[in-house]
Amino acid sequence: MQEQQLENEIRNIIAEIIEKKPEEVTPDAKFFEDLGVDSMMALEIMAAIEKKYKIAIPEEKLSQLTTLGETIRVAKEYLASGG
Amino acid sequence: MILKDKVGIITGGSRGIGRAIALALAKEGANLAFTYLKSSQEAQTLVQEIEKIGRKAIGTQTDVRDFEKSKEMVENVKKEFGRLDFLVNNAGITKDKALMMMSKEDWQEVIDTNLTGMFNVTRHCIVTFLKQKSGDIINISSVSGIAGMSRQTNYAASKAGMIGFTKSLAREVAAYNIRVNAVAPGFIETEMVASLKEDYKNAMIKNIPLGRFGKVEDVTGTVKFLLSDSANFVTGQVIVIDGGLFIQ
């Protein structure tokens, strides 16, 4: 999958869950401080990514979902291993 | 069948109320995992009985006091059955004593098993329930935790704690279509009640408006109701099953 496509898809997933415009979800915008994400939203983001890409991300990784960039990095880790 | 092909965990399943709940839910079509601590023989028998009903069963020797072991157990159930739909926190012990005779160990063991054990197992199930936006949790509390019972300060504290946990979690996860309820049995004919003194039991029965001790079926019926679609709008509740002993 193209890098840019993955970024756009994950950005859109996040934007929809946290009810912000996609352009507000910049790679470095901090979920909790800048975007008002709470722990339940973070979990929804994780679950939505798991569902879309048919991968399983361990619960321990939840605390690493802090920005779009970090979320993409975590997702790639599991996309690479085929889920 | 109200639970056809659903998968659930029952802690402390090998004996008493837990065992009765396991059998009743298997008859309703559920595949079950249960934990036990000491009763390996009884656990093996229960697996066979559930399989005879035509359902799958896994009995795991798990000390629910152990956070990591509880996690392993839950992960294994999800792996083996491929899903998880409900949890019944039933594992519980008593160490009845007058407070003046109660050791720190008597206190701690009861709190760790009954209260922390519930936390441990629920903690490891909740993310799955949140992600799938469904799940049912039933906590087996006791009238002791509502009305209080002499010589049970430790047990009553743990059971009252379960009720606070039930109500708080029910509020926390309701938006995710997860229901959390408790049942509070009174005197039910199990090994736990059999161990009470005879004259105490006779005195107790006179105070029960329905004039008898409860049967395990009285508890399993309520648990089945709470897990069924009939209870879809019921959450954060404590249903007392005590023959009217502590009508409030």
- Cβ of B131 within 8 Å of Cβ of A47? The answer is yes
| pLDDT reported for residue B197 | 86
Task: Enumerate the β-bridge partners of residue B60.
Answer: B35
Distances (CA, A) of B95 to A60, B119, B128, B201: 36, 20, 34, 18
> Using beta carbons and an 8 Å cutoff, which residues of A are at the interface with B?
40, 43, 46-47, 50, 59, 62
Min Cα separation A26/chain B (Å): 25
Rounded percentage of chain A residues whose pLDDT exceeds 90 = 87
* Structural contact between residues A9 and A79, judged by C-beta atoms closer than 8 angstroms: no
Between A1 and A21, whose confidence is greater? A21
3-class secondary structure, B235: coil
- Whole-number average pLDDT of chain A: 92
Average pLDDT over residues B121-146: 96
Q: How far is Cα of residue B24 from the mean position of the Cα atoms in its chain?
A: 13
The answer to whether B36 is a known catalytic residue is: no
Positive or negative: CA dihedral B144, B146, B151, B152: positive
Asked if pLDDT for residue B24 goes beyond 90, the answer is yes
What is the pTM assigned to this prediction?
A: 0.91
Can you say whether the dihedral through the CA atoms of B185, B189, B194, B198 is positive or negative? positive
Q: Which residues on A lie below 8 Å from B131 (Cβ)?
A: 43, 46-47, 50
Q: pLDDT by residue (tens digit) across B178-215?
A: 999 999 999 999 877 787 888 988 888 999 999 999 99
If pLDDT is split at 50, 70 and 90, which confidence band does A83 have? very low
pLDDT of residue A62 exceeding 70, the answer is: yes
Using a CB-CB distance cutoff of 8 angstroms, which residues of chain A are in contact with residue B130?
A: 40, 43, 47
Six token digits for residue B119: 């936390």
Which tens digits make up the pLDDT trace of B48-85? 999 999 999 999 999 999 999 999 999 999 999 999 99
Helix, strand or coil for residue B97? Answer: coil
Residue B187 CA, chain-centre distance (Å), reads 15
Residue of A2 and B227 predicted with greater confidence? B227
The model's pLDDT over A22-43, given as tens digits with 9 standing for 90+, comes to 999 999 999 999 999 998 899 9
- Which residues of B lie inside 8 Å of A (Cβ-Cβ)? 127, 130-131, 176
In this predicted structure, what is the pLDDT of residue B7? 98
**Buried/exposed B190-215: b ≥16 CB within 10 Å, e otherwise:** bebbeeeeeeeeeeeeeebeeeebbe
